[in-house]
Structure 1
Amino acid sequence: MAREGYATLLRGRASWYGRRFQGRRTTSGERFNRHEYTCAHKTLPFGTRLRVTNLTNGATVVVRVTDRGPFRHERIIDLAEVAARPLGIVDAGAATVVAEVVDSTTPLGIADTPENLAALRAGDPNPEAPFTAYLLPEVPAVSVALAAMPASPATAAKAPQFVVQAGTFIDAQHARAMQARILTIDPALPAEVLTVTVDGRAANRVVVGQLASWLAAETVRRNLQLWGIAGLVCQVPTGQAAADPDKPVLAVATSLK
């Protein structure tokens, strides 16, 4: 269905699978790992990468096709547990998503909500159908090139950066254990332990970042919360080094649940 100049879109219900299938061999021959960003699809070639967005909350992940299915309830895709959690599918059981075929070099994991999400919705030729597949004109190459151009030093200096604070510990061993737990959930997360001063005492703070947008940080925070890790999205003050242990980062609102 691929066509030059167009993106391939799939819209329908997504479900998930996890612990029960851990370690089983998938149709592609790989062993299923619920902690990896993979999925099952009925027909797409193994290795195809999909950017999957929950149409209700805008949460987005990128996954790789390694298995076949789902074969019931008119669902179009089965997501591994780690990919389903940030989309809210583990708690809900299923959700309506739009899945876009993306380049094979697109990083797997949590991603920003597509900027053209409204266009993805509007391009659906049959929104009343339980599922559909359609084509959408891609963003012109010149626009992509302009977006990829490095920002000027003045602009870059003003761009805010965000981190997720996942805990502050007096015992460094406890901090390293929290870091290891986060990396077990998602090895791609930039989790590190920083030495900070709290109330005049040395402490060890586990942070995930820096992240380029509040949405990216908030999505990470929600994902960690689903795994029982309470976090706080914070903005790094302009000009502050990523690992400056002597200056606190400024908290920003995280009212979304």
Structure 2
Amino acid sequence: MERYLLTSLFLLCCLSTALAAQKPASADAVQASPNSPHPPHLDRTGKTRKGKASYYGSKFYSRKMADGTRMDPQSNSAASKTLPLGTTAKITNLKNGSSDVVEIRDRGPYVKGRIVDVSPQTADKLGLKEGGTAPVEVKPMEVPQPDGSVKPGAGATDTRRAQ
């Protein structure tokens, strides 16, 4: 019995020493997690980007977004995997020229080839609802920086907020 206790104590000491010696996960590894609220490659440059847009379906109404607010279908909320939360951006439907200004409040879309999800109200303004998706241009207007400042983006000089 005494030998069993000594062996157990020895193994416990070895295990705790090994665990303490393990290198903690880096911040990059934590950010790379798909469930992380901070994607590993946030684009704070303010550069224009092009891709496909889609819009939030009704099952997402009232669900919490990444910034903690609830999804309001009548808002100007949008989701981006790479733009920082709080970014305001002008989105233009490249098929019909319609545009609207949104605020990035959520993460997504998680469908390959899509760069932004917009609220249903914004989808109406962009003429997006008929086809469900459309090619768009996203011009960041104001991009929050890590130090708390705000950087003007490519869309900052656009005086028209919507068409």
Q: What TM-score range do you get, normalising by the shorter chain?
A: 0.5 to 0.7
Higher CA-based Rg: 2
How far did residue 57 of structure 1 move? 0.7
How far did residue 136 of structure 1 move? 6.4
1:35 partner SS:
coil
What percentage of residue pairs aligned between the two structures are identical? 33
How far did residue 137 of structure 1 move? 10
| Structure 2 partner of 1:209 | none
- Please give the TM-score of this superposition, normalised by the length of structure 1: 0.39
Q: Give the CA RMSD over aligned residues.
A: 2.8
Whether 1:76 aligns to 2:112 is no
* Equivalent-residue separation in structure 2 for 1:37 and 1:136 (angstroms): 19
Q: How does 1:1-257 map to 2 (within 5 A)?
A: 1-2=43-44, 8-103=47-142
Greater per-residue strand proportion: 1
How far did residue 40 of structure 1 move? 0.5
Question: Aligned residue pairs: how many?
Answer: 111
1:44 partner SS:
coil
Q: Please give the per-residue CA displacement for 1:194-238, whole angstroms capped at 9, x wherever unaligned.
A: xxxxxxxxxxxxxxxxxx9xxx7xx5xxxxxxxxxxxxxxxxxxx
Structure 1 runs of 4+ off > 3 angstroms? 135-139
Q: Which amino acid aligns with 1:92?
A: G
* Equivalent-residue separation in structure 1 for 2:98 and 2:51 (angstroms): 15
* Equivalent-residue separation in structure 1 for 2:58 and 2:44 (angstroms): 34
In structure 2, runs of 5+ residues without a counterpart are: 1-42, 144-152
* Equivalent-residue separation in structure 2 for 1:32 and 1:136 (angstroms): 27
- Please give the TM-score of this superposition, normalised by the length of structure 2: 0.60
Which structure has more relative contact order (CA 8 Å, sep 6+)? It is: 2
In structure 1, runs of 5+ residues without a counterpart are: 105-134, 149-211, 220-257
